[in-house]
Amino acid sequence: NMEGLADPFGDRVVNEIPPPPVLPLDEDILYPSSDSKTPDWIAVRDHLAAEGTISKEHFVKMLHDATDIFKEEPNLIQFPEPLVMVGDIHGQLYDLIHLIEKAGDPSKTNYVFMGDYVDRGIFGVEVIIFMISMKLNFPDSFAMLRGNHECRNMTDHFTFRQEVIEKYDEEVYDLIMEMFDALPICGLADKKYFITHGGISPELKKISKINKIDRFLEIPMDGIMC
């Protein structure tokens, strides 16, 4: 129902595709209930799919709220089965939307994403917005682990830092990096299957050692967490 971007010259090649919304998602649509920490994730999905945006104010709030949840989670998360395990997303918003549609409603499905949400693809910001909107709705059944791209070094070397600065600014980038610092690092499904992004350090001898790691930092160049 939001106003679409104007076409003053009438030269849109494919008129069947609606133009992107002019304005960011309205607060009354983003937060339809009295609970200001739970965004309408379906409205977020549909708005982003239409190439709409979220205001900086609302994105910052979502980042703070999601970071607070991640900070309370252990380094190693225990998952029940059945469980949907998902690998790299790398800024592919439409693939992510399609995946969620095929794999199951997140209100009824246990998900664990194993990192690498950003870089390479051009919708890394939108992927983060969509994912944390689901995390804020389903904190206990929608898990996000940290991959090697969830850090300052990789996002500066690849595309994500520049993407955030172009769409928002450096302040938002720093908040996203702080959220990345808080992401859990691995999981255990049904007490049998070890879940992590990119391998197991030779320094790790016992799973019990994982929760003793200080994960709230930039990914180091050596050690258990590198």
pLDDT tens digit string along 12-55? 888 888 888 989 999 999 999 887 889 999 999 999 999 999 99
pTM of the predicted model as reported, rounded to 2 decimal places: 0.93
Domain 27-212: which CATH number of 3.40.50.10800, 1.10.443.10, 2.40.160.40, 3.60.21.10: 3.60.21.10
Is residue 151 a contact partner of residue 81, using CB atoms and an 8 Å limit?
A: no
- Does the active-site annotation cover 149? yes
DSSP letter for each residue of 24-86: PPPHHHHS-SS-TT---HHHHHHHHHTT----HHHHHHHHHHHHHHHHTS-SEEEE-SS-EEE
Given a cut of 90, whether residue 101 has pLDDT beyond it is: yes
Q: Please tell me the predicted confidence (pLDDT) of residue 192.
A: 92
pLDDT at 9 over 60: yes
> Order of strands across the sheet with 111-113?
84-86, 111-113, 142-144
CA dist 137 and 109 (Å) reads 13
Average per-residue pLDDT in the chain? 94
Label residues 107-117 b or e (16+ Cβ within 10 Å = b): eeebbbbbbbb
Q: Residue 109: what pLDDT?
A: 97
Write down the catalytic residue from 47, 58, 149, 197: 149
State residue 2's pLDDT score: 67
Of the two residues 18 and 96, the one the predictor is more confident about is 96
Asked if 130 contacts 44 with a C-beta cutoff of 8 angstroms, the reply is yes
Question: pLDDT tens for residues 132-148?
Answer: 999 999 999 999 999 99
Q: Which residue in 126, 107, 102 sits closest to 50, CA to CA?
A: 126
- Strand duo 186-189 + 193-195: pairing: antiparallel
